[in-house]
Amino acid sequence: MTMENTWWLAPCAPLQTGIAEQAAQRQAELTKPLGALGRLEQVAIQCAAWQGQVQPSITQPHAVLFAADHGVVAQGVSAFPQAVTVEMLKNFVHGGAAMSVLTQHHGMPLTLVNCGTAIPCEQVTGVLHRPIALGTADFSQQPAMTTEQAQQALALGAEQAEHAHQQGCDLLLVGEMGIGNTSCATVLAAALLQQPVAELVGAGTGLAGAALAHKCEVLTRSVERADIGPEHDALNIAEQLGGFEVLAMTGAYLRAAQLGLPSLVDGFIASAALLLAQRFQPRVTDWVLYGHQSAEPGHQAVLAALNAQPLVSLGMRLGEGSGAAIAYPLVQQALLLHRAMATFAEAAVSSSASEG
């Protein structure tokens, strides 16, 4: 991918609002009360605006999972050691992880990208190895990465979005794996929303009691160290508190929106990455649907800031892109109903109570 250093400033693709209006008119003519399919109607209309087709269809979804580690894990903010990131990468390759099972079920390609695990794992086959470093630095003590590393991570995500687009992808699902990345998402959300960590922090890998209180203290201290204010730009926030895989997700969302490729967003970590992407390019959210509402407390605040309405709320907090994959059949069914239902005219059904 050849891009200028500030490629993220390029505008997002425009929505085809005229086509969306025609799709809305079709919804009004289908054999049902107007609005009876609820959110499914809006999904179909949104897809029409993306594709420029009154009756859109999604035939080539693609999932990309970015993996990396976080230096802040040294502070005891996770219930699992960093070795689990590489072990889980192997599990994804062998088809045993939740996202592997779901993507295989949906017939959806799953690309695995090593952005920078703490333990070198280039010997693991079935993974695209593009490590930026052996994990980020401990952001409770210093910036998580250099400016150059932040740009590398963003570009890595952009490259994957571009590759998927070249392969004919028409819906992108972006997932992550990285011990400590719920902590990363929490501090990013706190900095971007200017909200206290205590209002956002959650169990992550399963912390509770004193361990959760310790995590809250470490993350609060991390945000204080970074000292992010309204004057700080997105790249500075990224290098202070980001993770390689989280910034890769941010880059993927940005580049996908520039290419006119819609994304189906997963849970807390994915939404924090999108919130950062919105700081780079406000119109990026025109090109997303939200899959699910996580059980992580911080996700509610991020969703509110994004004015997001997730398709499902199942108490999940797994990550990996799994919530987006769970919601994917709802998108397909919304489009199926939009295309295949008869109109009142086609079915010779009266469209108002006063007729017949």
pLDDT tens profile 72-95: 999 999 989 999 999 999 999 999
Backbone angles phi, psi at 265, to 5 degrees: -90, 140
* Selection from 289, 341, 345, 300 nearest residue 42 by Cα: 289
- Scored b (16 or more CB within 10 A) or e, 16-52 reads beebbebbbebbeebeeeeeebeebbbbbbbbbbbbe
Say how far apart CA 221 and CA 209 lie, in whole Å.
19
224: Cβ contacts below 8 Å, ≥ 6 apart? none
How far is residue 73 from each of residues 121, 131, 243, measured CA to CA in Å?
Answer: 19, 18, 12
Instruction: Give 254-296 pLDDT, tens digit per residue.
Output: 999 999 999 999 999 999 999 999 999 999 999 999 999 998 8
What's the confidence (pLDDT) of residue 207?
A: 81
Look at residue 4 in the predicted model and tell me its pLDDT.
63
In this prediction, residue 350 has a pLDDT band, given cuts at 50, 70 and 90, of confident
pLDDT tens-place string over residues 156-194: 999 999 999 999 999 999 999 999 999 999 999 999 999
Domain positions in the chain? 61-327
176 is catalytic: no
CA distance 142 to 107: 42
Which two structure tokens, joined as six digits, stand for 155? 């570009």
Burial class (CB in 10 A: 0-12, 13-18, 19+), 59: exposed
* Torsion from C-alpha of 204, 134, 132, 230, nearest 10 degrees: 50
Mean pLDDT of 127-152: 98
Within a 13 Å sphere around the CA of 40, how many CA atoms are in the beta-carbon half? 19
Q: Report how far apart, in Å, the C-alpha atoms of 200 and of each of 8, 119, 285 are.
A: 28, 29, 22
Give the right CATH number for 61-327 from 3.40.50.720, 3.40.50.150, 3.40.50.10210, 3.40.50.2300: 3.40.50.10210
Choosing from 162, 320, 346, 355, the catalytic residue is 320
Nearest to 251 by CA among 174, 184, 178, 198: 174
Report how far residue 282's alpha carbon sits from residue 11's, in angstroms, rounded to the nearest whole number.
9
Q: What is the pLDDT of residue 229?
A: 85
